[in-house]
C-alpha cells in the first residue's frame, strides 16, 4: 500500500496496544527453544531509539500502512523475552554511542567518546573478536559509516571514536567476514588524507568489494565482504521513496525543447510548483544504495552455512541522526526500515532454530512523542504526506529564494502552508540573520525551527536535540532468551551472549 494513503477508519486505530503488562512479559517460545544453546547471534540496534520512536513507528504503520510492525507483533504474539535496560556510561547517566556499544562489546562501562578502553588505558577485548577467536564468523552492517561508533564498539579498541580512518585499517587487520555500510572516505585513496588505498588492502586480504545495491546479487561466497555504498552515511529511507516523484517531473530545459509547434500546449506536471533543480541531483545515489534489510539478508546468506556459526551486528544508525535533527519523517521511516531488517533476522532465526536475535537500542534520543489535542490523530496521520526528510527539504532552500518559493516548496513536500511570518523566520537562517547548532547539524540548517513549525501540524513534540538517559526496550528471540532478566544493565548483554553460545 502507498505509504501516503490513509487506510479507511484510521482514527479507530490510534490507541495504544491493548495488552496487559503480564502478557508482554510472557514469552510464546517453547521452553526448549528458549533454553537451547545458540549457534548464531544477530544483534540488532536501532541507534538512538526512544520508546516514543518505537511507538510512533508502529502507530504510523498501523494507521497508514494497515499493519503492525514486526517488533510489535513479536510482543502481540508473545514470541519474545522482554526487558528494560539501563544505558549509562562510566562518565554519565547519558551515554554516547561509543560508550554504549563498548558496554555491549567489551562488557565494561567506559567513558563517553572511547571504544573499549578503560580510564587507565585497559583494553577490553571486543566480543566479536572473542567469537572470531572461537571459530565463528563475524560481521556488521549499518546505515551509517561502517567505521562509526556502534559497529566499532563490537570490533576494536580505540581511544577516539572519531579515528575512523584508523578503524578502517583495524578491521582489515583483524579480518572480519562481512562489513557493510557507508564511509567511502575512509577507504578511498583519493579521499583519505594519507592517500592509502584501503580497498586494495582489503582485496589483497581476500575481500570482495561491493559498491552498489546490484553487487549484492553477485557475491562470491568464497570471499569475505567489504561493502561501502556511499561517502558518509547511506541516504534516509524516506528520501528513497520520494525520488520517483522527482524523476517524473521535467526540467525547464526539457519543457523548452520538447514542444510540438503545431499544437497548443497544456503541461501540468505537479501539485504546486515543480521541484527545485538541486533536488533532482543525487537520484542515482539513492537508487544504488541498498536498504538495511537488503544488507542484512545478504550478510545472513553469506554467513549462515559456516559450521561453527556466526555473529552479526545490524545497526539502524540514522534513526539517531533523525532524532538529533528532530525530523519526524526521517525518524519514522528509518525506524520502519530497521523493522524490515528485524523481520529478515527473525524469519531466518525461526527457520534456523539455532539463532539468538537481540533487538534493542543503545540509548534514547530527543524523546519524541505525540501531543494531546482534538486533532492529534489527523495531525499525526498527516505525516504520510511528508515526501522527504527535513534535511532534504531545508537543503533545497537558499538565501536568494523569495517567500512564495519557500511556501510553495513546503506545501509541495509537507502539504501544509507556512504563514508569511514563518517563511520570513525560515529565510532568516539562510540570509545569515540567525543560526542553529547541533551535534549532527554540520550544515547549520534550521532543524529546530522547522520541527517547531511542523509540530503545529503533526502534533509531535521533542524534549531536546540530543541523547537521553531513559531506560530502553530490549527484546530477545531464540535459544538463550531465557537468560534475559526483566531489568538489566547494558554491560550484562556481553556475558549473556557468551552464556547463550556456551562460551562463558
Asked if residue 315 belongs to a known ligand binding site, the reply is yes
The reply to whether 473 sits in an annotated binding site is no
47 is in an annotated binding site: yes
Is 320 assigned a ligand-binding role in the annotation?
Answer: yes
Q: Tell whether 457 is in a known binding site.
A: no
Gap between the Cα atoms of 296 and 68, Å rounded? 21
Query: Which of 396, 103, 354, 375 has its CA nearest to residue 242?
Result: 396
Q: CA torsion angle for 287, 293, 299, 301 (degrees, to 10)?
A: -110
C-alpha cell at 417: 502552508
Cell matching residue 95: 551515554
**Residues 127, 153: Cα–Cα separation, whole Å:** 9
Q: Tell me the three cell numbers of residue 197.
A: 588505498
Task: Report yes or no: 454 and 411 within 8 Å, Cβ to Cβ.
Answer: no
Q: Is 145 annotated as a binding residue?
A: no
Which residue in the list 46, 50, 97, 158 is annotated as catalytic? 97
Q: Rounded distance, CA 363 to CA 446, Å?
A: 25
Which helix (H) or strand (E) segment is 359 a member of? strand 355-360
Is 396 in the active site? no
324 marked ligand binding residue: yes
14 is in an annotated binding site: no
Q: Is 363 annotated as a binding residue?
A: yes
Q: How far apart are CA 418 and CA 415, in angstroms?
A: 10
Q: Where are the alpha helices (DSSP H) in 369-436?
A: 376-381, 390-395, 403-414, 420-430
CA distance 71 to 389: 24
d(CA 285, CA 26): 44
Nearest to 182 by CA among 170, 168, 195: 168
**In the beta sheet, which residues pair with residue 365?**
467
- Nine cell digits for residue 101: 556499544
How far apart, in whole angstroms, are the C-alpha atoms of residue 392 and residue 179? 27
Annotated binding residues: 47, 148, 150, 315, 320, 324, 362-363, 467
Annotated binding residues for Zn(2+): 47, 320, 324, 362-363, 467
Annotated binding residues for Mg(2+): 47, 148, 150, 315
Active site residues: 97
Amino acid at each position: 500500500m502507498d505509504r501516503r494513503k490513509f487506510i479507511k477508519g484510521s482514527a479507530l486505530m490510534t490507541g495504544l496496544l491493548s495488552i496487559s503488562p503480564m502478557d508482554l512479559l510472557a514469552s510464546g517460545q517453547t521452553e526448549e527453544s528458549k533454553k537451547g544453546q545458540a549457534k548464531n547471534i544477530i544483534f540488532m540496534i536501532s541507534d538512538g531509539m526512544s520508546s516514543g520512536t518505537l511507538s510512533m513507528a508502529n502507530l504510523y504503520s498501523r494507521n497508514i500502512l494497515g499493519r503492525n510492525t514486526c517488533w510489535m507483533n513479536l510482543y502481540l504474539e508473545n514470541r519474545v523475552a522482554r526487558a528494560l535496560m539501563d544505558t549509562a556510561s562510566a562518565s554519565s547517566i547519558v551515554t554516547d554511542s561509543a560508550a554504549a556499544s563498548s558496554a555491549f562489546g567489551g562488557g565494561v562501562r567506559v567513558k563517553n567518546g572511547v571504544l573499549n578502553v578503560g580510564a587507565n588505558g585497559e583494553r577490553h577485548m571486543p566480543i566479536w573478536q572473542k567469537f572470531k577467536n572461537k571459530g565463528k564468523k563475524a560481521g556488521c552492517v549499518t546505515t551509517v559509516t561502517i567505521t562509526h561508533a556502534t559497529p566499532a564498539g563490537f570490533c576494536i579498541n580505540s581511544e577516539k571514536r572519531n579515528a575512523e580512518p584508523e578503524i578502517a585499517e583495524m578491521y582489515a587487520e583483524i579480518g572480519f567476514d562481512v562489513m557493510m555500510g557507508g564511509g567511502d572516505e575512509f577507504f578511498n585513496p583519493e579521499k583519505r588524507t594519507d592517500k592509502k588505498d584501503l580497498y586494495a588492502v582489503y582485496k589483497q586480504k581476500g575481500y570482495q568489494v561491493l559498491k552498489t545495491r546490484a553487487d549484492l546479487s553477485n557475491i562470491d561466497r568464497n570471499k569475505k565482504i567489504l561493502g561501502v555504498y556511499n561517502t558518509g552515511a547511506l541516504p534516509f529511507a524516506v528520501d528513497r521513496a520520494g525520488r520517483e516523484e522527482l524523476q517524473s517531473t521535467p526540467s525547464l530545459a526539457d519543457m523548452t525543447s520538447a514542444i510540438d509547434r503545431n499544437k497548443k500546449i497544456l503541461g501540468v506536471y505537479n501539485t504546486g510548483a515543480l521541484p527545485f533543480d538541486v533536488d533532482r541531483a543525487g537520484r542515482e545515489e539513492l537508487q544504488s544504495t541498498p536498504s538495511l534489510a537488503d544488507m542484512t539478508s545478504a550478510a545472513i546468506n553469506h554467513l549462515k552455512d559456516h559450521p561453527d556459526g556466526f555473529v552479526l551486528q545490524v545497526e539502524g544508525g540514522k534513526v539517531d541522526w533523525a532524532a538529533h535533527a528532530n525530523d519526524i519523517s526521517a525518524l519514522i521511516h528509518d525506524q520502519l526500515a530497521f523493522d524490515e531488517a528485524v523481520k529478515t533476522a527473525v524469519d531466518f532465526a525461526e527457520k534456523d532454530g539455532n539463532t539468538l536475535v537481540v533487538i534493542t537500542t543503545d540509548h534514547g534520543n530527543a524523546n519524541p512523542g505525540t501531543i494531546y489535542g482534538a486533532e492529534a490523530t489527523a495531525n499525526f496521520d498527516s505525516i504520510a504526506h511528508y515526501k522527504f526528510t527535513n534535511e532534504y527539504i531545508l537543503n533545497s532552500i537558499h538565501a536568494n529564494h523569495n517567500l512564495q518559493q519557500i511556501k510553495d516548496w513546503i506545501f509541495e513536500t509537507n502539504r501544509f502552508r507556512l504563514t508569511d511570518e514563518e517563511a520570513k523566520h525560515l529565510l532568516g537562517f539562510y540570509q545569515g540573520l540567525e543560526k542553529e547548532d547541533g551535534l549532527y547539524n554540520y550544515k547549520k540548517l534550521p532543524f529546530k525551527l522547522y520541527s517547531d513549525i511542523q509540530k503545529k501540524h503533526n502534533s509531535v513534540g521533542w524534549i531536546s536535540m540530543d541523547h537521553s538517559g531513559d531506560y530502553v526496550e530490549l527484546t530477545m528471540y531464540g535459544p538463550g532468551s531465557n537468560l534475559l532478566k526483566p531489568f538489566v544493565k547494558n554491560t550484562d548483554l556481553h556475558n549473556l551472549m557468551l552464556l547463550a553460545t556456551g562460551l562463558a
